[in-house]
Amino acid sequence: MPGQGAGKELTGRAPRKPFLLLIGAITIPIIVLDQATKLFVKSHMALYESIALVPNYLDITYTLNPGAAFSILADAPPWARLAFLLSMSCAAIIVLVVLLARSERVSINSVAFALILAGATGNLIDRATRGGRVIDFVRAHYYDLNYPVFNVADSAITIGVALIILGSLFGGDAAPKPNRSS
């Protein structure tokens, strides 16, 4: 019969891809928070000044990190370090945008990609506008035992990577298993 199946196109629409939702709800707010906290620290503290939030455990300490995470490449020649870090950041951002654009649904991996994209973009903004250096200010320590000073962008990257690891260990994005009860 003509007209049979005509309604299927309307009811069987593919779900919208979550790209704009993830960018708008995760990536952009984290970039704004990262840049706002860095601007606040820079405008209200002297370089290397430290304010204890929880004495002997957590401080706000204004530092400038010329290297990558944990000051990796900090001793490399400045021009080589900057070129390498800027190009790697740009490449990572492109890959993450493509991965997010190809996501079919919101999942643990797509949320992780949005977090890592926010962190990479936040630190890239710093590198591009502050001579290759990134403002770090969260100092977690136990008396004189220090964890490397970090920022909101670093936290977003770390949480994103942790989500990817958890998702791969516990099958967060795995397809549903077929029912074998028959």
154 is catalytic: yes
59 is catalytic: no
Catalytic residue among 34, 144, 154, 173: 154
Catalytic residue among 75, 136, 144, 173: 136
Q: Give the DSSP letter string of the chain.
A: -TTTTTTHHHHTPPPPPSHHHHIIIIIHHHHHHHHHHHHHHHHHS-TT-EEEEETTTEEEEEEEE-SSGGGTTTTS-HHHHHHHHHHHHHHHHHHHHHHHHH-SS--HHHHHHHHHHHHHHHHHHHHHHTTT-EEEEEEEEETTEEPPPB-HHHHHHHHHHHHHHHHHHHTTTPPPPPP---
Active site members:
136, 154
